[in-house]
Amino acid sequence: MKHHTKISVVALLACASLRAQAPTASEDIHAWLMRRAAAILNGRYDQPVILENGRGFANQNESTSSEGGSTSLVDQSSTSDFASLALNLAGLRQSETATAPKSGSVTVTAYSILAAAKGKRLLDPLFYQQNTGWRRVSFTIGTEESKLDEHLTDKPATNLGMKFVFKNDRDVYSGKALTAMNELRATFGSVIVGQASLSDRIQRIVFETLQRPTSADYDKLYAAFIVSKAFANPGWAATWTAFVGADTNGRARDEIETLLSNFSRPLERHTVLLREKVHELQQAPQWAIALSSKQREENGVDEYRAELIFDKGLSTRANWSLNGSFDFRDFQTTRDTRAGRLATEFQFRLYEGSSTGLMPGSVVLSGSGEHKAGNGMKPITRGQAKLVIPIMSGVSVPLAWSYASRADVNVLPGSQLRLSIVIDPVRLALRSQ
């Protein structure tokens, strides 16, 4: 009984192995051989380096952009590449008497203004290449509620800002990215050349096994075989079944397996290099300077900030920002204040959304801290935890909890909850195309 059981298990395993090699009903020979080569490649690693989803080969840990026409290499700048609109909807108050000023702003890059002025599609390849510099500059304009006791006026402030990214190694036209693309062009070329040769060899092995042609009738029979869609979808699955039946000693299948194993080497070189380069580019550092101002009428307090910002990816899911600024508050009637500020933020992408799932974008958790000190003011330290929840493509809701060591302009002491909405009109437009 034991002997029969052992044979049965072996037979079952053999059948399972053969079934794994067989094409699915929706595969043609090209999809099948790429899947088989990927399986051989993944077998050399503890964890799969590429997914075997038919014609798609994606890193399981890769962050993705499901936004139409855009890629996550394009999305990685610290402000939207094109435009965004932020509205602070409501502060969830700790006490009924404590209020937080409402604000709204829109940020656009000089690139998107130029594209709109010239009637160009934002991702038009030539326009994108020729205007790399314009993507480094962005402008913000907005309005913010003023409080009489803090700002010496109750008329709303006009917020103006400009940011210049002077070093952006994440841009697809940075030197780093162009070098990476050249390397990847070479390895990808090897994959495609290899795939063409491999397919040709496998097709001939299968044809010769099934039809045993003579040299005299080879071309005529091979042409008829190809035109019968023997290697296409859906013919390939039936062709393979017939081939397995005809390959009684298994030698033809062994030869195919060897060819697939040889092809998996250039496939591995390219896949590993691709993953490495994508990670490098997505985590590459960015440096920017930003100038902003809040202008108020009459005797209201005008505020100015000059800031240096550093941004770097720590992993495919985590990002770190550090910035330092000089803040100046211009009091029309009393002494001005000057302060230095240092802030840092860690962002972690908790969940990668999809356009068809419940979450049409990434869920991001961030933690930040800030310390500010200056003349005529007590130092203030603040911390914040924020969760950004995507509602739909181009619309997200940040929910933030913050704590401040004391009250300051636009800052309430103690803890606070705040809800806002961020709209990216360009992504909304892309989604509707």
The binding site for other proteins (CB under 8 A) comprises 28-30, 34, 51, 53, 55-59, 62-74, 121, 123-126, 128-129, 172-173, 177, 181, 184-185, 188-189, 191-193, 195-197, 199-200, 203, 219, 222-223, 226-227, 229-233, 235-236, 270, 274-275, 278, 281-282, 352, 354-355
Whether omega before 285 lies within 30 degrees of 0, making that bond cis, reads no
Shortest spacing between CB 163 and other proteins, in angstroms: 21
Beta strands 414-423; 302-313: pairing state: unpaired
> Shortest distance, CB of residue 66 to other proteins, whole angstroms?
6
- For 430, the token pair is 């892309």
β partners of residue 86 = 105, 422
Q: Of the two residues 191 and 260, which places its CB atom closer to other proteins in the complex?
A: 191
Name which of 106 and 184 has its Cβ closer to other proteins. Answer: 184
DSSP label at residue 61: T
Q: In degrees, to the nearest 5, what angle opens at C-alpha 276 toward C-alphas 272 and 282? A: 145
Give the nearest distance from C-beta 287 to other proteins in angstroms: 21
Given a contact cutoff of 8 angstroms between Cβ atoms, the answer to whether 329 and 302 are in contact is yes
Q: Which two tokens stand for residue 15?
A: 């059948």
Among 354, 320, 324, 323, which Cα is nearest to 339's?
Answer: 324
- Find all residues with CB under 8 Å of 200, minimum gap 6, and list them: none
Q: How far is the CB of 135 from other proteins (least distance, A)?
A: 10
- Residue 265 neighbours by CB under 8 Å, 6+ apart: none
Question: Minimum CB separation from other proteins for residue 284, in Å?
Answer: 13
- Of 357, 356, 329, whose CA–CA distance to 341 is shortest? 329
Which pair of tokens denotes residue 378? 């007590």
Closer CB to other proteins, residue 190 or residue 293?
A: 190
- DSSP letters along 326-341, please? EEEEE-SSS--EEEEE
Give the tokens for residue 8: 């049965």
Distance CA 414, CA 404 (A): 5
Residue 108 Rama label (left phi>0; alpha psi -120 to 50; beta): beta
For other proteins, which is the closer residue by CB, 28 or 144? 28
CB of 143 to other proteins, least distance (A): 33
Q: In the bound complex, what is the minimum distance in angstroms from residue 90's beta carbon to other proteins?
A: 33
Angle, helices 218-227/175-211, rounded to nearest 10 degrees: 120
Q: List the beta strands (DSSP E) in 110-194.
A: 137-144, 157-168
Nearer to other proteins, 160 or 272 (CB): 272
Q: Which is nearer to other proteins, 184 or 421 (CB)?
A: 184
Nearest CA among 380, 384, 374, 383 for reference residue 405: 380
Q: Which is nearer to other proteins, 95 or 356 (CB)?
A: 356
Least spacing, CB of residue 63 vs other proteins, in Å = 8
- State which amino acid sits at residue 165: V
Handedness of CA 122, 279, 431, 55 (dihedral sign): positive
In terms of CB distance, is 114 or 232 closer to other proteins? 232
Cβ proximity to other proteins: between 58 and 89 the closer is 58
Query: Could you tell me which residues are beta bridge partners of residue 374?
Result: 339, 377
Minimal distance in Å, beta carbon 88 to other proteins? 31
Minimum separation from the CB atom of position 228 to other proteins (A): 9
Q: Which is nearer to other proteins, 1 or 175 (CB)?
A: 175
